[in-house]
Every structure is written in structure tokens, then in C-alpha cells.
């Protein structure tokens, strides 16, 4: 038992064990047997409804839903660590499925903190009633994504998507792309510029937009290299009217969304970790059971050295992720820096782990039906999920040395 497992509560241990059984008995066998599904260009055909239904039965699809609506009760002082534990376990089976579920958690956190009682009743109710119902969070646009999160707050960086106030509501026009769950969600949180000429932090608002709203359409499913069991989507809003009560937060939506930005970095890092753990487990089993040159692979020194390096990197990532998760739960002063550091470190180190896994599997590592190359593809995509590595580096510097760090764009102030 690791030092982190000793710190887990009985509830966390139970949830971790239930998720591990779900992954071992349901997810891994499905992925292994149906590996061609990942490449089905009909997005609806990739992941059967039964997978989300099984996830719903053990409570992980609605992890952040308040208990009063039927969600699983979570210790608020350990919530982010619980998210990390569950994210790692699910991503060990499939990172796309993990991301599919994670969007529900993130938007649920946002709704419980910002939405009216009326909207909570409606959307938590729909989420609990339908085991295949999904949430999506739409920030990214063709113009830019994480580059908007540099140390400046300029009108030039504002959202291209705009919402104009009209009698009784708002009219939204714009386009969002690379949206997790964007292709098949039932409810979207859309961010839009509502105050042209102001900085992003004062002029960005968020809106609740249900699927099927007039003027709102799903333009396409983005075909990604990895995480393909989560259907990434592109959204189009043309004169899309939403009533006044669908305004979630006016003007300061980006600041208010901070309630899940930190946990989001932890969850992202933990998903990386799960992929790395899967690569380590697959490789350890392979090198201890296959022989080359008259001896087990693990008895070759170069193989043993690489395996040791993989295990060390996975352990190091887990240590930083859990340290950052603890800081996030406790709201410590170094939480921001640690969350960004965990995100960067996990994405880089786990890609290295997966590359080693592919090498140690030899030619088999490149075969689609072996499942190792899938881990490399999934790990590669993490470099720019939830902010690119370079942008994250800027955020780390800003968090650690706020008084002297540059603004990275525009005039020095």
C-alpha cells in the first residue's frame, strides 16, 4: 500500500475498488475485444449505451451532483482528491470514457455553485433520470483557446462568440470548437462576450443552452488522434435566443468558473496518470511472460532499466498530482502553481512512459489490436488538453512570481 492509499478514507477506498472492478470487468474487455469501434466514423456507434449505464450504476457518472438530487455524497474537504482517484482508475481503462464522465463532474460543480434552484432542479433531474445524458462546457473557439489565458486581460483577447441583450433574453452568435462531449451532450454552458471593449475578465458571460435550442446546432464531430471514445464537437450559434434566466453569470463568468478550473487541472493530470498506469501494467505483464534470446525479457538489463524508469515516472506523477489535489482541497496559497505543475509534468512524463511501453513491446506495440499504440495516442493528446504545455509554463511563473513575471503580450505595466 502506498503512502497515498494509507491516507484514503473508507469511502474513497470503496469507490476506488468499485471503479477498479468496473474497469477490469467491463471497460478493458470491451476495449480489447472491440478495438475497431474506436475507428468507426459514425460517432454514435463507438461506445454502446450500456457502458454509461454501467458507470451510472456505480455512481461515477454523476459524481459531483448534490446529494439532495441523488448524487453521491462527497467529503467537501477531500472532493478534489476523490476526483483524482476516480479519474485515474477510469482512464486506466479508457481516457476517452474518463473525459466523457469528467465533463459531467465539472459542469455539475459549476451548476451547483452558480445556477438557480430552478435550473438545478431541471438539469440535475435530467442528468439523474437519463443514464446517457451528458454535459458540455464550451469555451474554446477557432480564434483561440489557452493562449487567452496568458497574463493579460485585453479586449483583443475577448471571445468571438457574442451575446446581445434583447427584450426578455439574449441572442448569441458564434462558433465553438474542440468541445469535449460537444457532439452528443444534452446541455451546454456557452461562454460569450457581452461587453465589447472590456477585458475578458469583465466582459465574458456564461449561458445555459440546452441541445435543440433554436439557432444552436452541432456542426460536426472532430475526429481526434486519441481519446476517441469521447466525441469532441464543433458548435454553431446563429441568432440563438435564450431567456434571461438562462444567464448563468454576467461579466465575470471566467472568474466564477474558477470553482472548477483548479479541480479540472487535477482531473486532467489524473487522467494522464491512469493512461501511464495502464501502460506500466501492460508492459510489466508482457516483459515478465515473454522470452527473447533464451530468457524472459525482464532479465535483459536494458528492458529492466526501462521498466524501472517507467515505474519511477508514474510514481513521481502520482506524488505531484496528489500533492496538488491536497492543496486544491485545502485552498493553500501554492494551489495554483501546483495544479499547473501537475498538469504539465503529467502530460510530459506519461507520454514518455507510453513511448517506452511501445518500444518494449517491439513490433507488437505498433499493432492496433494490441492496445499499446492506443495509449501512446491518448497520451500525446494530453499535451494540449486543458491548456498547452507552453501556456501552462507561463501560468506557473505567474503563480510563483506574480510581482515580476511578464504579461507576455501587450505593453509592460
Tell me how far apart the alpha carbons of residues 9 and 83 are, in angstroms, rounded to a whole number.
14
Helices 258-287 and 301-330: crossing angle in degrees, nearest 10, is 160
Q: Taking all residues of the chain, what is their mean pLDDT, rounded to a whole number? A: 92
Distance CA 245, CA 361 (A): 55
Distance CA 81, CA 65 (A): 16
CB-based contact 191:220 (threshold 8 Å)? no
Task: Name the CATH architecture for the domain at 136-255.
Answer: Beta Barrel (2.40)
Q: Which three cell numbers stand for residue 11?
A: 469511502
The whole-angstrom separation of Cα 399 and Cα 405 is 9
315: its cell numbers: 510514481
Q: Please say if the pLDDT value at position 413 is more than 70.
A: no
Higher pLDDT, 45 or 158: 45
- Whether 150 shows a pLDDT value over 80: the answer reads no
The domain made up of 257-400 has a fold known as: Butyryl-CoA Dehydrogenase, subunit A; domain 3 (1.20.140)
Neighbours of 105 (CB within 10 A): 25
Matching residue, cell 493528446: 381
**What confidence score (pLDDT) does residue 152 get?**
61
pLDDT of residue 158: 82
Residue 411 has pLDDT above 60, yes or no: no
Residue 149: the pLDDT is 58
- Residue-level length of the chain: 413
Among 223, 186, 227, which Cα is nearest to 99's?
227
Say how far apart CA 21 and CA 99 lie, in whole Å: 19
Residue among 91, 50, 56, 90 nearest 71 (CA)? 56
- For residue 280 the three cell numbers come to 506500466
pLDDT above 60 for 381 = yes
Q: 54 and 22 in contact (C-beta within 8 Å)? A: yes
Residue intervals in the chain for CATH 1.10.540.10 = 3-133
pTM: 0.94
At a CB cut-off of 8 Å and minimum separation 6, what does 158 contact? 193, 196, 198, 199, 200, 203, 204
CA 2 to chain centre: 25
Question: In the predicted model, is pLDDT for residue 151 greater than 80?
Answer: no
pLDDT tens sequence across 315-366:
999 999 999 999 999 999 999 999 999 999 999 999 999 999 999 999 999 9
| CATH class of the domain defined by 3-133 | mainly alpha
Residue 20 pLDDT: 97
Yes or no: say if 92 and 274 are a contact pair by the CB < 8 Å rule: yes
**pLDDT band at residue 290, thresholds of 50, 70 and 90?**
very high
Instruction: Write out the residue limits of the CATH 1.20.140.10 domain(s) in the chain.
Output: 257-400
Percent of the chain with pLDDT over 90: 80
Write out the three cell numbers for 82: 476523490
Average pLDDT over residues 217-231: 96
Domain with CATH 2.40.110.10 in the chain: 136-255
Between CA 379 and CA 92 the distance in angstroms is 12
Instruction: Check whether 77 has a pLDDT greater than 70.
Output: yes
Q: How far apart are CA 117 and CA 111, in angstroms?
A: 9
Question: 158 is written with which cell numbers?
Answer: 475577448
Residue with more model confidence, 244 or 147: 244
- Region of poorest pLDDT, from 30-39, 71-80, 146-155, 390-399: 146-155
pLDDT confidence tier of residue 1, bands split at 50, 70 and 90: low
Say how far apart CA 93 and CA 25 lie, in whole Å: 10
What confidence category does residue 3 fall into, taking pLDDT thresholds of 50, 70 and 90? low
Kindly write down the DSSP assignment for every residue of 182-221, as one continuous string.
TTT-SEEEEEEE-STTS-HHHHEEEEEEETT-TTEEEEEE
- Taking every pair of Cα atoms in the chain, the longest distance, rounded to a whole number of angstroms, is 80
The predicted pLDDT at position 148 comes to: 64
Count Cβ neighbours within 10 Å for each residue of 274-302 and write b for 16 or more, e otherwise: bbbbbbbebbbebbeeeeeeeeebbebee
Closest CA to 262 of 169, 356, 327, 218: 327
Amino acid at each position: 500500500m502506498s503512502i497515498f492509499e494509507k491516507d484514503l478514507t473508507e469511502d474513497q477506498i470503496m469507490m476506488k475498488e468499485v471503479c477498479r472492478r468496473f474497469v477490469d470487468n467491463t471497460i478493458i474487455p470491451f476495449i480489447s475485444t472491440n478495438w475497431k469501434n474506436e475507428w468507426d466514423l459514425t460517432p454514435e456507434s463507438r461506445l454502446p449505451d450500456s457502458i454509461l449505464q454501467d458507470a451510472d450504476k456505480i455512481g461515477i457518472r454523476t459524481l459531483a451532483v448534490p446529494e439532495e438530487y441523488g448524487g453521491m455524497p462527497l467529503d467537501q474537504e477531500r472532493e478534489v482528491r476523490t476526483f483524482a482517484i476516480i479519474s485515474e482508475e477510469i482512464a486506466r481503462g479508457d481516457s476517452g470514457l474518463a473525459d466523457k464522465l469528467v465533463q459531467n463532474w465539472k459542469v455539475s460543480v459549476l451548476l451547483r455553485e452558480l445556477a438557480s434552484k430552478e435550473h438545478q432542479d431541471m438539469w440535475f433531474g435530467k442528468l439523474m433520470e437519463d443514464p446517457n445524458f451528458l454535459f458540455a462546457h464550451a469555451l474554446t473557439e477557432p480564434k483561440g483557446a489557452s493562449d487567452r489565458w496568458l497574463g493579460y486581460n485585453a479586449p483583443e483577447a475577448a471571445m468571438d462568440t457574442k451575446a446581445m441583450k434583447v427584450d426578455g433574453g439574449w441572442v448569441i452568435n458564434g462558433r465553438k470548437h474542440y468541445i469535449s462531449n460537444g457532439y452528443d451532450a444534452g446541455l451546454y454552458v456557452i461562454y460569450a462576450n457581452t461587453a465589447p471593449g472590456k477585458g475578458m475578465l469583465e466582459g465574458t458571460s456564461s449561458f445555459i443552452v440546452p441541445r435543440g435550442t433554436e439557432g444552436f446546432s452541432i456542426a460536426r464531430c472532430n475526429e481526434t488522434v486519441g481519446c476517441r471514445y469521447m466525441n469532441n464537437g464543433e458548435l454553431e450559434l446563429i441568432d440563438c435566443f435564450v431567456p434571461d434566466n438562462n444567464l448563468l453569470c454576467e461579466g465575470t463568468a471566467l472568474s466564477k468558473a474558477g470553482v472548477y478550473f483548479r479541480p479540472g487541472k487535477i482531473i486532467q493530470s489524473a487522467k494522464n496518470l491512469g493512461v501511464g498506469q495502464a501502460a506500466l501494467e501492460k508492459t510489466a505483464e508482457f516483459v515478465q511472460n515473454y522470452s527473447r534470446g533464451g530468457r524472459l525479457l525482464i532479465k535483459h538489463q536494458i528492458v529492466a532499466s526501462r521498466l524501472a524508469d517507467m515505474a519511477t515516472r508514474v510514481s513521481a506523477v502520482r506524488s505531484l498530482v496528489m500533492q496538488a489535489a491536497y492543496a486544491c482541497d485545502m485552498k493553500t496559497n501554492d494551489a495554483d502553481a501546483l495544479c499547473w505543475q501537475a498538469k504539465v509534468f503529467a502530460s510530459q512524463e506519461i507520454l514518455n512512459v507510453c513511448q517506452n511501453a511501445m518500444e518494449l513491446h517491439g513490433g507488437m506495440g505498433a499493432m492496433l489490436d494490441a492496445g499499446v499504440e492506443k495509449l501512446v495516442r491518448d497520451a500525446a493528446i494530453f499535451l494540449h488538453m486543458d491548456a498547452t504545455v507552453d501556456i501552462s509554463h507561463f501560468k506557473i511563473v505567474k503563480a510563483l512570481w506574480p510581482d515580476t513575471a511578464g504579461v507576455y503580450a501587450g505593453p509592460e505595466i
